[in-house]
Amino acid sequence: MTLALVHARYQLLETIRIPIALIGSAFFPAASMLFFVVPFAGDDPVAATFATASMVTFSIMVSSLFTYGVGVADDRSQPWDGYTRTLAAGAGPRFAGRILAGMTMALVSLVPVVLIGALFTEATVTPAGFLLGLGTVFVGALPFTLMGLAIGYALPLKAALVVCQVIFFPLAFGGGLMSAPGQAPGFIQAIAPYLPTRGAVELMWAAVGDYPVRPLSLVMLAVWTVAAGAVAVWAYRRDEGRRFH
């Protein structure tokens, strides 16, 4: 456990020393808030709250995919990663440390979204709803964290970058993150429950507002989580760092 904290601490130190990386993961969701949510749904308390919850989910997804997918693939390309494998720490502390650091970064990148929601829209949330939403962040981040780890451990850096860029967009639109509950176009309504983004955003909507979660979305969220976890473990086990030295 202490080792997990040590690994998390040094990962965060490395990230913080290059602050532009932080701005990158916070920018897209914050910009989406300003361009889409504030002008179109900002005046309606219910719509603004749901839309902010969607952007929070979007932000978690993007930062998880990129932090782990690209971050892990990048680390694996560095000789330092090969060295840390010779230290007396197994997969557990290194995985846990990485996830702790990633979660911290994800929470930090949520701050602008939540601030814009609170200051520039009519979005409201009860203190209990806020705490529930905070807890939901961790549940919702799980499948995307595992997907990111699977990508990061399975692919070289350049491929990981492309895969993350290619999948985050359909996951966001297909899951209905860009439309209010029940307002998405028909074909998205049809495919959304089968995407992990939908289960995550429905949980978030239910946490901060009045939304009945659909069982199908939750079951599929669980399926995605287990599947992504299995791929992540497989990719981690077969990974030996760079192939050639």
Partner 1 sequence: MILAEAIEVTRRYGDVIALDNVSLQVAEGELVGLLGPNGAGKTTLASLITGVRRPDQGRVTLCGGDPRDPRTRKALGVTPQETGLPATLRVGEVVDFVAAHYPDPVPRAELLDQFGIADLAKRQTGGLSGGQKRRLAIALAFVGRPRVVVLDEPTTGLDVQSRRGLWDAIKAYHAGGGTVLLSSHYLEEIEALADRVVVLGHGRVLADDTVTAVRGMVGVRRVSFALAGEPPALPGVVAVERHEDRTHLLTPDSDALVRALVASDVDFRDLEVAPTSLEEAFLAITKEPATAAA
Residues contributing to the site for partner 1 (CB under 8 A):
2-3, 6, 10, 13-14, 17-18, 78-80, 82-83, 85-90, 240-241, 243-245
Q: How far is the CB of 7 from partner 1 (least distance, A)?
A: 8
Nearer to partner 1, 87 or 219 (CB): 87
Nearer to partner 1, 90 or 215 (CB): 90
Nearer to partner 1, 156 or 185 (CB): 156
| Residue 235: count of CB within 10 angstroms of its CB | 17
Q: How far is the CB of 235 from partner 1 (least distance, A)?
A: 16
Nearer to partner 1, 89 or 134 (CB): 89
Please identify which residue in the block is written with the tokens 């981040």.
141
Nearer to partner 1, 44 or 81 (CB): 81
Please identify which residue in the block is written with the tokens 């705490």.
131
What are the start-end ranges of the H helices in 33-181? 38-41, 45-64, 71-76, 79-84, 91-120, 127-154, 157-174
Could you report how far apart the first and last alpha carbons of the chain are, in Å? 32
Angle in degrees, 0-180, between the axes of helices 215-238 and 127-154, rounded to the nearest 10? 40
C-alpha 33 chain-centroid distance: 17
Taking the C-alpha atoms of residue 7 and residue 93, their distance in angstroms, rounded to an integer, is 7
CB under 8 A, 24+ apart: contacts of 221-227 = 221/143, 221/196, 224/143, 224/147, 224/195, 224/196, 224/199, 225/142, 225/143, 225/146, 225/196
Q: How far is the CB of 93 from partner 1 (least distance, A)?
A: 9
CB 196 within 8 A of CB 181: no
Q: What is the DSSP letter of 24?
A: H
Q: How far is the CB of 96 from partner 1 (least distance, A)?
A: 14
Q: How far is the CB of 176 from partner 1 (least distance, A)?
A: 39
Nearer to partner 1, 4 or 48 (CB): 4
Q: How far is the CB of 228 from partner 1 (least distance, A)?
A: 25
Q: How far is the CB of 28 from partner 1 (least distance, A)?
A: 24
Nearer to partner 1, 14 or 43 (CB): 14
